[in-house]
Structures are given as structure tokens and as C-alpha cells.
């Protein structure tokens, strides 16, 4: 392991590879305990999470539902509940996966907020967007989608005196692969510190459908490239990112890309600058 690998892994609190199935089960219990304690300590009783149909939100959603069910059993308080929210932009191309995710999670409540009207309305009002090329405007509006989705989740959480869950984990954090104040904004991030392979392992252990466990990750924010794989944007694979974070050898090219991207996206992982 290089010094930079060790430094970055420590900064992101990366969880070491699971030694065996027992270690994996213990990690699941630790994550549920974190969710329960966070909710208890907040004095609130509702959790909210947007469900995309990818493995990250599927895993976080099932952990959230199991946690509130345990809280109800432990306290006898049936006000503890989890709200899963679909946040499509018009019709999502992989809506079938999102529906399969919801069936697996079995949330106390399923909501739908279509963000297309909000994104369109804002896009029409911001004159600066009209000056951009089609590709650049599409990219900027992709970030608008991510931020509108989080606005919707916080609105639902506020209306129900609840907390918003985020799905960020170490393999995304190291690449800064989230929208600042968009999907990077949340009250708690129960997948933090896990690499992508570990998220998949937890999902599989929880019983998630295999096609969701192995689904190609995509942020799906760009209209001109719907379903664009995360790895195309990264320039490296999640297997390479996971190996890097776990201190394993990677190619010189992959190493350089990951370190450069981590350094360039530092601002996303920090609080706003102050004097």
C-alpha cells in the first residue's frame, strides 16, 4: 500500500475487506445500530430516502426499513417508519428496476415525486443556461436534477419531522462522484466507508435480487446520454477503485486517475470555505 492509498483510505474511514460471512453480518448489524441510534438521538421517528433502482439505494433502503422495524419492536412505538420515494424525471428508462427495488425493500410508505416540472421551470428561468452548448446545458441540468431530488426528500422529511438518508460510500466519495448539495446532502449516510463490492455483498446477504446487486451503476442525470455508466465517467472501474481503497496493487494509470480525481474533488467532501 502506498502512502497516498493509506492516507486516502484513512480519510474516508474505509472498512477493511470482510474476513468472512460473520464479519459481513456484524457490519450489517453495526450499520443498523448506527441508523437506529441516529434516529433516537435526533428525537425524530421518520426516515426518508430516494430509491433509484440501483444497488446503493436498494441497500440503504432495506437497512432503513429493517432499522425502523427493530425500533418499533424494541420500543413499542409504532410512529417509527420509513418512507421510500421515487423521484423520476418524466419516465425513468429502468423503472422496472426501481419497482423491483421497492418490492424488495418493503418500505412502510412508498411515494412518487416527478421532478421534471421543477427542473424544466428552473431551466427556463435561468437565462445563463440558454447561452450554453447542448452538451454543457445537459450536464448542468443533470446537477439540477440531483439537487431538486434532494429538495424533494428534505421537503418530505420536514413535513414528517424526519431525517434524509444519503447513499454515499467510499468508492463514490474518493471520486467525488456526487452532486455537491445534491445527492451529497443528507442527514445520515449509512453506507459511508464501504467500497462498492462491500455494498453489493451486503445487498446480496440481505436478499436483494441478483440483477439489482450486479446492476451497472449509473447516475442517469444526462438526457443526451441516458444510463451513462459511472465507470465511463470515472475512467476506471469500481473493481480498481475498491482495490485502491483496500491497499491492493492497481495499474499506474488507475492509480494516477484515482489520486488526481480525489485531489480535484476535495472541495466536495469539505464544509464551505470561511475566512
pLDDT in tens, 77-94: 999 999 999 999 999 889
Nearest to 32 by CA among 158, 176, 165, 149: 165
Whole domain around residue 248: which residue ranges?
A: 3-269
**How many Å separate Cα 225 from the centre of its chain?**
20
pLDDT at 41 over 90: yes
Q: Is residue 29 part of a domain?
A: yes
Q: Is residue 275 part of a domain?
A: no
Domain of residue 33, CATH code: 3.40.50.620
Q: What is the mean pLDDT of residues 188-200?
A: 98
pLDDT at 55 over 90: yes
pLDDT of 232 reads 82
**Longest Cα pair distance anywhere in the chain, in angstroms?**
57
* Percent share of the chain, pLDDT over 70: 99
222 band by pLDDT with thresholds 50, 70 and 90: confident
Q: Is residue 274 part of a domain?
A: no
Nearest to 152 by CA among 91, 84, 219, 97: 84
The string over 38-64, giving b where at least 16 C-beta atoms fall within 10 Å of a residue's C-beta and e elsewhere, is bbeeeebbbbbbbbbbbbbbbbbbbbb
pLDDT at 42 over 80: yes
Nearest to 49 by CA among 82, 3, 10, 89: 82
Q: Is residue 243 part of a domain?
A: yes
Q: Is residue 122 part of a domain?
A: yes
Q: Is residue 192 part of a domain?
A: yes
The better pLDDT of the pair 93, 3 is held by 3
Q: What is the mean pLDDT of residues 42-59?
A: 97
The CA distance from 61 to 53, in Å, is 10
Backbone angles phi, psi at 50, to 5 degrees: -80, 135
pLDDT of 223 reads 73
pLDDT of 53 reads 95
Query: Do residues 7 and 126 touch, judged by C-beta distance below 8 A?
Result: no
Domain count, the chain: 1
Q: Is residue 215 part of a domain?
A: yes
Q: Is residue 10 part of a domain?
A: yes
Catalytic residues: 56, 172
Strand partners, 164: 48
Amino acid at each position: 500500500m502506498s502512502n497516498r492509498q493509506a492516507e486516502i483510505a484513512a480519510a474516508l474511514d474505509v472498512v477493511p475487506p470482510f474476513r468472512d460471512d460473520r464479519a459481513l453480518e456484524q457490519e450489517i448489524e453495526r450499520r443498523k445500530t448506527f441508523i437506529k441510534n441516529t434516529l433516537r438521538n435526533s428525537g425524530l421517528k421518520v426516515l426518508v430516502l430516494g430509491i433509484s433502482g440501483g444497488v446503493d439505494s436498494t441497500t440503504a433502503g432495506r437497512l432503513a426499513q429493517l432499522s425502523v422495524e427493530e425500533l418499533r419492536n424494541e420500543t413499542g412505538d409504532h410512529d417509527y417508519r420509513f418512507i421510500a420515494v421515487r423521484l423520476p424525471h418524466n419516465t425513468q428508462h429502468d423503472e422496472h428496476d426501481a419497482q423491483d427495488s421497492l418490492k424488495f425493500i418493503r418500505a412502510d410508505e412508498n411515494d412518487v415525486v416527478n421532478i421534471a416540472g421543477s427542473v424544466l421551470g428552473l431551466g427556463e428561468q435561468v437565462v445563463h443556461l440558454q447561452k450554453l452548448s447542448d452538451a454543457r446545458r445537459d450536464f448542468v441540468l443533470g446537477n439540477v436534477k440531483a439537487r431538486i431530488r434532494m429538495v424533494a426528500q428534505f421537503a418530505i422529511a420536514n413535513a414528517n419531522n424526519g431525517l434524509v438518508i444519503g447513499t454515499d460510500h467510499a468508492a463514490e466519495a474518493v471520486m467525488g462522484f456526487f452532486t455537491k448539495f445534491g445527492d451529497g446532502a443528507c442527514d445520515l449516510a449509512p453506507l459511508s466507508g464501504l467500497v462498492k463490492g462491500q455494498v453489493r455483498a451486503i445487498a446480496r446477504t440481505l436478499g436483494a435480487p441478483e440483477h439489482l446487486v450486479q446492476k451497472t451503476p449509473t447516475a442517469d442525470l444526462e438526457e443526451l446520454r441516458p444510463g451513462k455508466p459511472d465507470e465511463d465517467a470515472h475512467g476506471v472501474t469500481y473493481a480498481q477503485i475498491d482495490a485502491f481503497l483496500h491497499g491492493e496493487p492497481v495499474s499506474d494509470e488507475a492509480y494516477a486517475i484515482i489520486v488526481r480525481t480525489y485531489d480535484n474533488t476535495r472541495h466536495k467532501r469539505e464544509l464551505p470555505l470561511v475566512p
